[in-house]
Chains A and B, each alone.
Chain A
Amino acid sequence: AQSVTQPDIHITVSEGASLELRCNYSYGATPYLFWYVQSPGQGLQLLLKYFSGDTLVQGIKGFEAEFKRSQSSFNLRKPSVHWSDAAEYFCAVGPTYNTDKLIFGTGTRLQVFP
């Protein structure tokens, strides 16, 4: 069955520290992978997506993610976290490059301390 797992429900980091949010997927076909961020009261915003090519993908707001097929992972990283990065982060997998029919993970809530 298709699924996305985000093992960390809640992560707390200090401002300026590096960040890695984990995402593992189970998908029968070629996966199209996405990371979204949701700030309180806001809609989900697409950070980045991967479907082929270079396995290190750059996104908005200084985020990047690396696709590792052997580990079925698509972890999100940021070298230096800002207080404004505090939000809920969702990893998702889909059947195409279109962001439709997505299967989401349970989300990781990021808290940033000054």
Chain B
Amino acid sequence: GAVVSQHPSRVICKSGTSVKIECRSLDFQATTMFWYRQFPKKSLMLMATSNEGSKATYEQGVEKDKFLINHASLTLSTLTVTSAHPEDSSFYICSAQNPGINTEAFFGQGTRLTVV
């Protein structure tokens, strides 16, 4: 399958700072990327869907000013957690898809964010 690389795999930051997580499709053009979050002992939940060159569509309950998503190119989407707080500590995972080519979205390996 196609390769999606997510970076960093782990990050620790201080409360009040911002953290950027990158999601790259390495061998295909991802017109659509998805960002998920997993709370401890909870399901992975979709946060937002981003289409290249347009604004992300956020799921209900997700603060778009808190979780900034940029999908500026066909191979890169970024999630920035702004003014992070300990409750933002979580596992974040992205997936990338080109719906015109494949019905399958390919996942990155995830990022473990810890806010101290």
A29 to B107, CA, bound (A): 25
Chain B interface main SS type: strand
| In contact, A44 and B107 (Cβ under 8 angstroms) | yes
A99 to B46, CA, bound (A): 12
> B10-69: which have CB < 8 Å to A?
32, 34, 36, 38, 41-46, 49
| In contact, A102 and B103 (Cβ under 8 angstroms) | no
Contact residues in B for A4 (Cβ distance below 8 Å): 43
Q: Which of B1, B6, B42, B46 contacts A102 (CB 8 A)?
A: B46
Q: Which of A3, A9, A100, A106 contacts B105 (CB 8 A)?
A: A100
Binding site for A on B (CB under 8 A): 1, 4, 6, 9, 32, 34, 36, 38, 41-46, 49, 93, 95, 97, 99, 103-110
Stretch at the interface among A12-20, A35-43, A61-69, A74-82: A35-43
Contact residues in B for A106 (Cβ distance below 8 Å): 41-43
Chain A residues with a Cβ closer than 8 Å to the other chain, count: 24
B94, closest chain A residue (CB): A43
Contact residues in B for A3 (Cβ distance below 8 Å): 43
| In contact, A97 and B103 (Cβ under 8 angstroms) | yes
Q: Knowing A44-B95, A98-B97, A99-B95 touch, does A104 contact B44 (C-beta < 8 A)?
A: yes
Contact residues in B for A104 (Cβ distance below 8 Å): 36, 38, 43-45
